[in-house]
Structure 1
Amino acid sequence: MATLRDEALISSLWETHGAALLAYATRVHGTKAEDVVHDVLVLAWRKADDLPDGKMAARAWLLAKARKRGFVPVLFPQCRRTAQYA
């Protein structure tokens, strides 16, 4: 069961880093960005004790986790874009 502390943590992370996190996830993951952000915030909630102190350190942690979530490397991204319009 979530405590007030947990709810305050996630609210604070979202208010402080939500826009940047969603923008970054959109660039990296496209249409799956909202799912990625959700997964990262759940991970932050589960690993609250592992979150680094400081605003920028926390943002770096969140963005690093967003990059890794659901990431499938593409060797030639320009080919993916071309294939969509073929």
Structure 2
Amino acid sequence: MPDEDARLLRELHDQHAQAVWRYVVHLTGDRAMADDVVQETLLRAWRKPAVLDQSQQSARAWLFTVARNIVIDDKRSAHSQHEFGTDTLPERPSQDDGADAVLDAWLVSDALAELSDEHRAVIVHAYYGGRSIAEISRELDIPEGTVKSRLHYGLRAMRLALQERGVTER
């Protein structure tokens, strides 16, 4: 921005921003929105250098018109039509109701059902039974290397099955 344009924009801000802000607060009752509208109005003035060259009276009228149009556009927008603000936040449960644990168990159970019998057996013995590789090997009568391999590939398949259900890694 040339120095002259910057000076004119600063002058425009100094002379009219407060009046435009009060006007928007009067229209909306929302001080935060008024800040945003004034900023957007001045941004539009900066993008349209012809406004900077106008007389003070016509520049002021242009600023008020633009601010009013921004407020109208915001009120007509979808977010304004379908959302409403509130001063109170929704209540959060004071204690864990266990719903998350139930849903997690359901997801894991569904994912386990997709695995082969061999992979599922090794995972269930290791994670739900708390057994070591050697114990799983003895109980399922398979070599320890096979237990490790099935555990590795079973967990990979499990991860994919969970990702298909929308579960992501943290």
TM-score, normalization: structure 2? 0.39
* 1:36-74 Cα distance to aligned partner (Å, 9 max, x none): 00000000000012456211111100000000114226x
- Alignment size in residue pairs: 73
Equivalence for 2:7: 8
Equivalence for 1:34: 35
Query: Is residue 2:64 matched to residue 1:63?
Result: yes
Q: C-alpha displacement at 1:17, in angstroms?
A: 0.8
- The structure whose Rg is larger is 2
1:69 and 1:43 mapped to 2: Cα distance?
11
TM-score, normalization: structure 1? 0.72
Equivalence for 1:25: 24
Tell me if the contact between 1:9 and 1:45 (Cα under 8 Å) persists in the aligned partners.
Answer: no
Percent identity reads 32
CA RMSD, Structure 1 to Structure 2 (Å): 2.0
Structure 1's unaligned 5+ residue stretches are 74-83
Structure 2's unaligned 5+ residue stretches are 77-85, 87-170
Q: C-alpha displacement at 1:3, in angstroms?
A: 2.5
2:18 and 2:70 mapped to 1: Cα distance?
17
Report 1 or 2 for greater relative contact order, CA contacts < 8 Å, sequence distance ≥ 6: 1
